[in-house]
C-alpha cells in the first residue's frame, strides 16, 4: 500500500525491507532524515544504529559490519561523501558489498545545501584512489528511490561491490506517495562464505585489500575489471520518453529528468519533436542506448545537468559509438539552482547548443 514518504525516509525504510540491519551515519544536510529514521527504526527491527564520530568512521563501520556478513549502509551528502572515499576504495578493493547513499548538495568545498548533481564524476569514475567502480543508481522519484535502494543490496551482494544511490537534496526532501517493497527473507539468501564473521571452522577468512606482489595485484585489478564489465553487460538501466521520432533528445538523470519530462510535454504540445533519455544507472552508463538514438532520428542531444558539464562527457562518448555525428550541447544550472521546465523548453526552441549558468 502506498503512503506518503519523504525521499530520505523511503530510502531508509526500503533498506530495512532489503534486510539492512546495520546503519552508520553522521549528520549533514540534506540527508539527516536517513540517520534520524534509522536511529529509532533499527531498534524496532533488532538492528544496529551508530552515530559515528565522522563520515570517515561511519564508512569504516560499514566495512566492518558488511565484511562480517551483515547488510550494511551509510548515507551522507557531498562533503561527507568526499570523506568516505578512502573507505569506499578499501571496500571496493576488499570486495565488500554495501550501500552508500549520497543526497547531493552543491559544491565544491562546503558549497551550499541546495540540490546539485556535481558529484557525478566522483560517483561514476571511482572517487577514491585506485582502479575501481561502483554501481550507481540515480532515482528520479521517491518510489524509485525506494525500489533502487532495495535492489541495491541484492546487486551489492551479487557483485561483492559497493552500490551508490545518487540522489540530491530535492529528492531527499520531497514528499510523494510510495510503496516500500515487501520485506526480504534474509535468512533465505545465499550464505556469504567469504565473510569474516568468526566461527570459521578452521578456515581463515581475511577481508583485505593489500596485495604486495605486482603480479598478484594486477590479477586482482583484472578480476575487478571483469566484474565491472559484467555490470556494463547486465546492469544498464534507462528510460526513454517520446524518443522514437525525437529530433532533440534531452539527456537527464534524477530530479532533472522529471523537469525535462515536463519540458518535453510543453514542446510536444507546440509540435517540436523533443524527447527525454534518462539514465537510471550512471555506472554502467547507457552508452549503447544513446548511440542507438543517434543512429535514428535524433539530430541534437542536450545534456541537462545540475553540474558544470560532467555527464555530457559520457553523452559525447556514447555519440562516438554512433555512425552519425549529431550536435551535442549542455543546459546547466549550478550552485543549488534548479531549472524550470519552461527554461529547458525555451532553450530547445532557441536552437542553441550550449547554455549555462554563466551569463
Partner 1 sequence: MDKIVFRKPPLLTDAPMHYCPGCTHGIVHRLIAEALDELGEFENVIGVAPVGCAVFAYNYFKCDMFQAAHGRAPAVATGIKRARPDSTVFVYQGDGDLASIGMAEIVHAAARGENMTVVFINNGIYGMTGGQMAPTTLEGQKTTTSQSGRSAKEHGNPIKVCEMLSALTGPAYIARVSVHDVKAVKTARAALVRGFAMQKAERGFSLIEILSTCPTNFGMTPQQALCWVRDHGTAAYPLGVYKDIGLPGEGRE
CB neighbours of 296 closer than 8 A, spacing ≥ 6? 244
Q: What are 104's three cell numbers? A: 547531493
Closer residue to partner 1 in complex, CB, 92/304: 92
Of 11, 66, 145, 255, the residue at the interface with partner 1 (CB under 8 A) is 66
CB 178 within 8 A of CB 11: no
C-beta of residue 125 within 8 angstroms of C-beta of residue 140: no
Q: Does 57 bind partner 1 (CB under 8 A)?
A: yes
349: number of Cβ within 10 Å: 14
Does the footprint of partner 1 cover residue 323 (CB under 8 A)?
no
Q: Is 50 near partner 1 (CB under 8 A)?
A: yes
Side by side, which strands form the sheet with 327-332?
238-241, 274-279, 248-251, 300-305, 327-332
Comparing CA positions, the residue from 221, 162, 160 lying closest to residue 196 is 160
For residue 12, the minimal CB distance to partner 1 (Å) is: 17
Query: Is residue 41 part of the contact set for partner 1 (CB under 8 A)?
Result: no
Task: Confirm or reject binding of residue 179 to partner 1 (CB under 8 A).
Answer: no
Query: Does 86 interact with partner 1 (rule: CB under 8 A)?
Result: yes
Grid coordinates given for 49? 544504529
353 sits near partner 1 (criterion: CB under 8 A): no
Pattern 116-155, binding to partner 1, x per CB under 8 A?
----------------------------------------
Residue choice 208, 216, 225, 234 for contact with partner 1 (CB under 8 A): 208
Taking the C-alpha atoms of 223, 226, 227 and 232 in order, what is their torsion angle to the nearest 10 degrees?
Answer: 160
Residue 83 binds partner 1, judged by CB under 8 A: no
Does 87 engage in binding with partner 1 (CB under 8 A)? yes
> What is the smallest separation between the CB atom of 164 and partner 1, expressed in angstroms?
18
Residue 101 as a binder of partner 1 (CB under 8 A): the answer is no
Q: To the nearest whole angstrom, how small is the minimum distance from the Cβ of residue 186 to partner 1?
A: 13
Cell 521517491 belongs to: 142
Nearer to partner 1, 207 or 262 (CB): 207
Applying CB under 8 A, does 210 fall inside the site for partner 1?
yes
Instruction: Tell me the window of 157-165, 200-208, 259-267, 298-306 that interacts with partner 1 (CB under 8 A).
Output: 200-208
- Helix, strand, or coil (residue 101): strand
In contact, 303 and 347? CB cutoff 8 Å: no
Can you tell me whether residue 306 is helix, strand or coil? coil
Size of the site for partner 1 (CB under 8 A): 40
Residues in the chain: 359
Q: Which residue from 99, 104, 91, 93 is spatially nearest to 29, judged by alpha carbons?
A: 104
- Options 20, 92, 94, 246; binder of partner 1; rule CB under 8 A: 94
Query: What cell was used for 336?
Result: 543549488
Q: How far is CA 60 from CA 67, 85, 124, 211, 319, in A?
A: 10, 10, 21, 20, 39
The three-point CA angle 242-119-53 to 5° equals 135
Tell me if 331 contacts partner 1 by CB under 8 A: no
Window contacting partner 1 (CB under 8 A); options: 44-52, 214-222, 284-292, 330-338: 44-52
Q: Tell me whether residue 61 or residue 330 sits nearer to partner 1 (CB atom).
A: 61
Q: Which is nearer to partner 1, 87 or 167 (CB)?
A: 87
Least Å from the CB of residue 67 to partner 1? 6
CB-CB contact of 275 with 240 (8 Å): yes
Nearer of residues 48 and 288 to partner 1, judged by Cβ: 48
Q: How far is the CB of 192 from partner 1 (least distance, A)?
A: 11
Any contact of residue 52 with partner 1 (CB under 8 A)?
yes
- Could you tell me the CA-to-CA distances from 339 to 140, 172, 272, 312, 334 in Å, in that order? 15, 18, 20, 17, 9
Residues binding partner 1 (CB under 8 A): 21-22, 24, 48, 50, 52-54, 56-58, 60-70, 72, 86-87, 90, 94, 196-200, 202, 204-210
Amino acid at each position: 500500500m502506498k503512503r506518503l514518504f519523504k525521499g530520505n525516509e523511503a530510502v531508509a525504510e526500503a533498506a530495512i525491507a532489503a534486510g539492512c540491519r546495520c546503519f552508520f551515519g553522521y549528520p549533514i544536510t540534506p540527508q539527516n532524515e536517513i540517520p534520524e529514521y534509522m536511529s529509532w527504526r533499527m531498534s524496532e527491527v533488532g538492528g544496529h544504529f551508530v552515530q559515528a564520530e565522522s563520515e570517515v568512521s561511519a564508512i569504516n563501520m560499514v566495512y566492518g559490519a558488511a565484511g562480517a556478513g551483515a547488510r550494511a549502509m551509510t548515507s551522507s551528502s557531498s562533503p561527507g561523501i568526499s570523506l568516505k572515499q578512502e573507505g569506499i576504495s578499501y571496500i571496493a578493493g576488499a570486495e565488500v558489498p554495501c550501500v552508500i547513499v549520497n543526497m547531493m548538495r552543491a559544491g565544491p568545498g562546503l558549497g551550499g545545501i541546495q540540490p546539485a548533481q556535481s558529484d557525478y564524476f566522483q560517483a561514476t569514475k571511482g572517487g577514491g584512489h585506485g582502479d575501481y567502480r561502483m554501481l550507481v543508481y540515480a532515482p528520479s522519484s521517491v518510489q524509485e528511490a525506494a525500489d533502487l535502494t532495495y535492489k541495491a543490496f541484492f546487486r551489492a551482494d551479487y557483485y561483492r561491490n559497493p552500490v551508490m544511490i545518487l540522489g540530491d537534496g530535492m529528492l531527499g526532501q520531497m514528499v510523494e506517495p510510495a510503496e516500500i517493497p515487501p520485506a526480504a527473507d534474509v535468512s533465505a539468501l545465499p550464505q556469504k562464505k567469504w565473510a569474516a564473521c568468526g566461527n570459521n571452522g578452521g578456515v581463515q577468512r581475511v577481508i583485505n585489500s593489500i596485495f604486495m606482489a605486482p603480479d598478484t595485484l594486477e590479477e586482482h585489478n583484472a578480476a575487478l575489471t571483469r566484474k565491472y564489465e559484467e555490470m556494463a553487460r547486465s546492469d544498464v538501466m534507462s528510460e526513454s520518453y517520446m524518443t522514437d521520432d525525437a529530433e532533440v533528445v534531452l539527456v537527464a538523470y534524477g530530479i532533472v529528468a522529471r523537469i525535462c519530462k515536463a519540458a518535453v510535454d510543453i514542446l510536444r504540445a507546440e509540435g517540436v519533436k523533443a524527447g527525454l533519455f534518462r539514465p537510471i544507472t550512471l555506472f554502467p552508463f547507457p552508452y549503447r542506448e544513446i548511440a542507438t538514438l543517434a543512429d535514428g532520428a535524433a539530430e541534437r542531444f542536450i545534456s541537462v545537468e545540475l553540474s558544470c558539464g560532467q555527464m555530457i562527457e559520457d553523452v559525447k562518448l556514447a555519440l562516438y559509438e554512433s555512425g552519425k555525428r549529431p550536435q551535442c550541447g549542455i543546459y546547466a544550472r549550478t550552485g543549488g539552482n534548479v531549472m524550470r521546465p519552461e527554461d529547458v523548453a525555451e532553450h530547445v526552441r532557441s536552437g542553441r547548443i550550449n547554455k549555462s549558468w554563466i551569463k
